[in-house]
């Protein structure tokens, strides 16, 4: 009976380690996601500064073109072609270089995010991790293969509260251990009683 109790305890520890690993991987994805979001927001702010700068050189008709250019990821290049005089503006050149640097960072962070997602999804779908993942709603995470705007507006939920499910699992495991312990004690007492009866 004690062997069974030992097995139950070992299984519980193993399942807890799977849960902790899934949580750690999800935390890595959350961090990568936040880094991309921060860079996308920073790029948007710089693009808005460039657009405001271009409006100083534009007439009413050209302002419409500038508004259209907002949706272009390469807004700096688009505006410099429409307004060649911007190329001689030091602030414009500085902002353009910052945007280009951010583009490189976003691409690197996108690769890391997708790598983290790949590692997590592969482990999450393996046996026995998939059973723990389903129990605690560790869902499959999508890759960053959509447009930047869609990624920015995507509602990826990283907030988790597994307290109830964990309590249920711990309570269930504790009950099983308690039941096995009681059964073991009863069995031992029965054996002792049998031995005493035989001696009498």
Res. 144: pLDDT tops 80: yes
**CB distance 156 to 45 below 8 Å:** no
CA angle centred on 172, ends 166 and 178, rounded to 5°? 130
DSSP-assigned letter for residue 146: S
pLDDT digits 0-9 by tens, 44-94: 888 888 888 877 877 766 776 676 666 666 777 777 777 778 778 888 889
pLDDT value at residue 176 = 64
Distance from C-alpha of 5 to C-alpha of 177, rounded to nearest angstrom: 6
Higher pLDDT, 62 or 126: 126
pLDDT value at residue 87 = 78
Q: How far is residue 112 from each of residues 102, 130, 178, 181, measured CA to CA in Å? A: 15, 23, 46, 49
pLDDT value at residue 86 = 78
Distance of CA 36 to the CA centre of its chain: 12
Average per-residue pLDDT in the chain? Answer: 79
Most confident of 72-86, 92-106, 117-131, 136-150: 117-131
pLDDT value at residue 28 = 93
Higher pLDDT, 183 or 153: 183
pLDDT digits 0-9 by tens, 7-46: 778 888 888 899 999 999 999 999 998 898 899 889 888 8
Distance from C-alpha of 110 to C-alpha of 104, rounded to nearest angstrom: 10
- Comparing CA positions, the residue from 47, 19, 76 lying closest to residue 152 is 47
Instruction: Count other C-beta atoms under 10 Å from residue 32's C-beta.
Output: 20
pLDDT value at residue 158 = 58
């Amino acid at each position: 009976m004690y062997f069974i109790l030992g097995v139950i305890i070992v299984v519980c520890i193993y399942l807890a380690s799977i849960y902790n690993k899934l949580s750690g991987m999800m935390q890595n994805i959350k961090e990568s996601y936040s880094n991309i979001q921060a860079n996308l927001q920073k790029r948007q702010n710089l693009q808005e500064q460039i657009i405001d700068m271009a409006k100083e050189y534009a007439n009413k008709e050209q302002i419409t073109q500038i508004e259209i250019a907002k949706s272009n990821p390469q807004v700096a290049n688009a505006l410099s072609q429409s307004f060649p005089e911007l190329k001689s503006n030091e602030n414009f050149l500085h902002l353009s270089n910052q945007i280009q640097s951010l583009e490189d960072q976003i691409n690197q962070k996108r690769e890391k995010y997708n790598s983290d997602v790949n590692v997590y999804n592969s482990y999450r779908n393996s046996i026995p991790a998939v059973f723990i993942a389903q129990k605690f709603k560790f869902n499959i995470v999508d890759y960053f293969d959509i447009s930047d705007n869609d990624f920015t507006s995507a509602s990826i939920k990283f907030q988790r509260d597994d307290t109830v499910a964990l309590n249920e699992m711990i309570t269930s495991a504790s009950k099983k251990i308690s039941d096995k312990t009681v059964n073991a004690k009863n069995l031992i007492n029965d054996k002792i009683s049998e031995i005493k009866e035989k001696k009498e």
